Amino acid sequence: MPATENISDSPAADDSTDRELCPLSFAQERLWFLDQLQPGSSAYNISQGWRLEGDFDLATFEAALNEVIRRHETLRITFSRVEGKPVEIISAFQPVTLQVRDLSRESDPEAAASRFVIATANQPFDLQRGPLFRVELLKLSPHEHLALFTLHHIISDAWSFEILRRELTEFYRAKQTKTEVQLPELPIQYLDYAHWQREQISGETLAHDLDFWRKELAGELSRLDLPTDFSSTEAENSAGESEPFELSAELTHALKTLAQTEGGTLFNVLLAVVNAWLLRISCQTDFIIGSRISGRDQVET
């Protein structure tokens, strides 16, 4: 997004904000649109598994999770449509009940857990009915459990997972030791951010940004033509693979030095390398590369 004008203040909690039929943030609206386009897709599910070793107290874990759900409105959100426009609805807190799936009697508990993880991670969510998160507890042995969290990207992201893990741990320890949890009150909820964003990026600011991207993306977007050993199809799907590799310590140091010399970051340098590589093997000069960003440029978020 190009630099927007007159966005200098920060999101803040606002008691006057309608918390029954709330506007979506721009990121949420994109994900809502994609869900309408391809209903029943699990492409935007995000999952993490946490291995828990030692004595596990289900009742304490459940109570800690419910404290997190009570604390964060985004875990109680569903989505609907009013007069053709999407809105998010915040439900009143209702405690969840957890069950442990015992895999310890399986011939290979790890393999059984892997199969279950894949199946539940690919199970789609219903944005209108909710809930938009799942918590599964797997028992691998008497002293080893796996907590699997799956959330729809419309209510969470990778950054948020760390907050979820940290706060769940805080509440669990506090309830185990019967002490007060040391967590500050949330300065804002996500709804407050969405409301602020809609107010800030509107009118002339929104028109300016839309005009920029309409010009930038005008015409037919070229398809990246890579020399592969199989032919691509027109059918769209979200299947993908990864190819891990490592850079030596010497090369990493050289890349970091180059970034510092050019006044950039290691990410900038690596992105430039990817662009140069794609240019060389495709002979194309116009293509789109996507990358993950945190979107956190304000302390409140």
Quick: pLDDT tens for 156-193. Answer: 998 899 999 999 999 999 999 999 998 999 989 999 99
Write down the pTM of the prediction. 0.84
Give the pair of three-digit tokens for residue 165: 């893990």
pLDDT band at 202 (very low <50, low <70, confident <90, very high): confident
Alpha helices in 201-285 (DSSP H): 203-216, 249-261, 266-282
Cis ω on the peptide bond leading into residue 187 (within 30° of 0)?
no
User: Can you give the pLDDT at residue 1?
Assistant: 30
pLDDT band at 210 (very low <50, low <70, confident <90, very high): very high
Q: Are 147 and 50 within 8 A, CB to CB?
A: yes
Q: What is the mean pLDDT of the chain?
A: 90
List the chain domain ranges: 26-203, 246-291
User: Can you give the pLDDT at residue 16?
Assistant: 59
pLDDT band at 216 (very low <50, low <70, confident <90, very high): confident
User: Can you give the pLDDT at residue 293?
Assistant: 82
Give the separation between CA 261 and CA 265, rounded to whole angstroms.
10
Amino acid, single-letter form, for residue 171: F
In DSSP notation, 1-17 reads -PPPSS--S-----TTS
pLDDT at 301 over 90: no
User: Can you give the pLDDT at residue 17?
Assistant: 63
User: Can you give the pLDDT at residue 240?
Assistant: 77
Query: What is the average per-residue pLDDT within 4-12?
Result: 56
Give the pair of three-digit tokens for residue 145: 């459990």
CATH number of 26-203: 3.30.559.10
User: Can you give the pLDDT at residue 130?
Assistant: 92
Query: What is the average per-residue pLDDT within 11-37?
Result: 84
Give the separation between CA 113 and CA 68, rounded to whole angstroms.
25
pLDDT at 154 over 80: yes
Lowest mean pLDDT among 74-88, 137-151, 242-256, 283-297: 283-297
Amino acid, single-letter form, for residue 59: A
If phi over 0 gives left and psi between -120 and 50 gives alpha, with beta otherwise, what is residue 264? beta
Q: Which contacts qualify for 108-116: CB closer than 8 Å, 24 or more apart? A: 109/140, 109/141, 110/140, 113/138, 113/140, 113/146, 116/148
